Amino acid sequence: MKAQPGKDLIIFGSGSIVSELTRHGLIDEYRFAVCLVLLGSGQSLVRGVPKRLPLDLLEAKRLPSGDDHPSLCTVDARVAVSHPNASVRPPNGVILTKVSRNQQMATNPAKRQVSTSKSSVIRWLLDSDPSIRWQVMRDLTDAPADEVAAERAEVATEGAGARLLALQAPDGRWGGAAWNRGWDSTMHVLSLLREMGLDPASDEARRAVGLVRDRVTWQGCGPQEADDNPFFAGEVEPCINGQVGAVGAYFGQDVRGIVDRLLAEQLPDGGWNCEAANGSTRSSFNTTICVLEALLEHERARRGSPEVTGARLRGQEYLLERRLFRRRSTGEVIERDRKGGAAWTRFAFPTWWHYDVLRGLEYLRRAGVAPDERVAEAIDLVASKRDDDGRWPLETRYPGRMPVETDEGEGRPSRWNTLRALRVLDWYSARD
């Protein structure tokens, strides 16, 4: 019945029925009505369930008891399974309920719709690649750390992560280059593997990154002065060096040379710009976000310094002062960068060197920034893009050759954008 299309199934069940259905992962939401006078020692409501179930409290009401003791009451509570272990992903849900005497079951359709939507979205996210699943488990559910780690380990051996690793040539390169404009180069693949959360300590990561460190240079991929540079020494443009610095720091490589260069290139307004070498004195959102991610990864690798942290904080203020997508001078919304290559209010994945509002918010979340009113408008923009099914689309895709597919295509619901959007909304909602 659960696998068939239709409305929710509501089951009034005993403890044994609850336990049996729970063990098989068939319950989406639980409804409890508890007389407080009965609380205390006793037997578990759901005996025989081997694993702790992460649950989200949807609603709790204090109701009159209906007898001669007004001090006593009934608590009516609704909770939803936030991380079901079931492999079955049905079109309808199952609700278990037990109500006390004299109490009618009341359902708030609006609230139920929202909660069911989020629960179904999480199931949809979990029904995907290991690179997404482990991050959903870590960031959107209460999955135990050992289960998260086990899922993360599969990034190296299954799905998109494994396919990316298999594309590496014996000379250590992907796409025949340290960097190119086609998104399939060494730098771009390592950036994708970082986004996927490939464990740097895994044997597969150590082997792949070791080949890059020992064999890959910038020969023919940048300015001639950088030809002989090892890959993790970077080249000259801060946007490229930011991306190389981020993947290098993430995978445990020494990128202090890149970081020192980036610190020296910070502009007076707090950001960075690849056009500074050509005389620009104003920062770029595109370049700044690349550098901020590199400095943050460097700090997270415990190789930071007060100078690095100070530069990063000035850089993030550059974004915050502009509310992540407005001109500081006029308050005008910036729809696209001045070259027209990046749509800042339309969300892409992967973003490569392009800035957008969701990428800016993800940086702030990862940096542990306490949200304030300067991000409220950006959060509203993210929330406005959620579709009727609680998902976010892939709004744009930048031209190039993807080494592996990461989404269903432009205009379709995107698991990556949905994961990222839910994380920043949770980050913002927890501000109090």
pLDDT digits (tens, 9 = 90+) for 276-312: 999 999 999 999 999 999 999 999 999 889 999 999 9
| pLDDT (mean) for 405-421 | 96
Nearest CA to 26 out of 94, 83, 118, 125 is that of: 94
Instruction: Give the model confidence (pLDDT) of 117-168 as tens digits.
Output: 789 999 999 999 999 999 999 999 999 999 999 999 999 999 999 999 999 9
Entry pTM: 0.74
**Same domain for 152 and 232?**
yes
Q: Is residue 402, in this structure, part of any structural domain at all?
A: yes
Residues 109 and 23 in one domain: yes
Q: Please check whether residues 106 and 137 belong to one and the same domain.
A: no
Which candidate, 393, 413, 293, places its Cα nearest to that of 343? 393
Same structural domain, 357 and 427: yes
Element (DSSP H or E) covering residue 289: helix 285-300
> For position 432, what pLDDT does the model report?
67
Average pLDDT for 169-194: 96
In a domain, 287, yes or no: no
341-360 tens-digit pLDDT:
678 999 999 999 999 999 99
Domain hosting 389: range is 341-432
pLDDT value for 43: 45
| pLDDT value of position 1 | 65
Least confident of 71-85, 98-112, 147-161: 98-112
Asked whether 73 and 62 are in contact (CB, 8 A), the reply is yes
pLDDT at 5: 64
What pairing do the DSSP bridges indicate for beta strands 55-64 and 9-12? Answer: unpaired
Last residue of a domain, one of 90, 115, 140: 115
- Tell me, yes or no, whether 102 and 147 share the same domain: no
Q: Are residues 106 and 188 in the same domain?
A: no
Edge-to-edge strand list for the sheet holding 94-98:
9-12, 94-98, 29-35, 73-81, 55-64
C-alpha atoms less than 13 angstroms from C-alpha of 21 in its C-beta half-sphere: 24
Beta bridge partners of 333: 326
What tokens does 90 get? Answer: 């049905």
Count CB atoms within 10 A of the CB of residue 387.
Answer: 11
Residue 285 resides in a domain? no
Q: Is there a domain that residue 282 lies in? A: no
Domain limit, last residue, from 203, 236, 269: 236
Q: Which of 333, 331, 352 is nearest to 341 (CA)?
A: 352
- Least confident span in 51-55, 199-203, 256-260: 51-55
**In 3D, which of 252, 52, 25, 44 has the Cα closest to residue 146?**
52
CA atoms within 13 A on the CB side of 165: 24
How confident is the model over 314-322, as a mean pLDDT? 98
Statement to judge: residues 179 and 83 lie in one domain: no
Number of structural domains (the chain) is: 3
Co-location of 70 and 26 in the same domain = yes
Residue 410 region, left (φ>0) first, then alpha (ψ -120 to 50), else beta? Answer: beta
In a domain, 51, yes or no: yes
Mean pLDDT of 2-25: 64
Weakest-pLDDT range from 28-37, 225-234, 314-323: 28-37
* 413 in any annotated domain: yes
Average pLDDT over the chain, rounded to an integer: 84
Q: Are residues 177 and 227 in the same domain?
A: yes
Cα 193 versus chain centre, distance: 14
Instruction: Check residue 48 and report its DSSP letter.
Output: T
Residues 373 and 415 in one domain: yes
Least Cα distance to 355 among 232, 243, 223 occurs for 243
> Both 139 and 228 in a single domain?
yes
Q: Which pair of structure tokens corresponds to residue 287?
A: 């370049």
Average pLDDT over residues 79-103: 44
Burial of 223 (0-12, 13-18, 19+ CB in 10 A): exposed
- Work out the widest C-alpha separation in the chain, in whole angstroms: 89
Q: Where a domain ends, among 81, 115, 149?
A: 115
Residue 101 shares a structural domain with residue 174: no
- Going by the DSSP 8-state scheme, the letter that residue 354 receives in this structure is -
Is 256 inside any structural domain? no
- Looking at the predicted structure, is the pLDDT value of residue 65 above 90? no
Contact between 248 and 230 (Cβ < 8 Å): no
Residue 326 lies in a domain: no
Q: pLDDT band at 29, cuts 50/70/90?
A: confident
Cα 358 to its chain centre, rounded Å, is 10
In degrees rounded to 5, what are phi and psi of residue 179? -155, 145
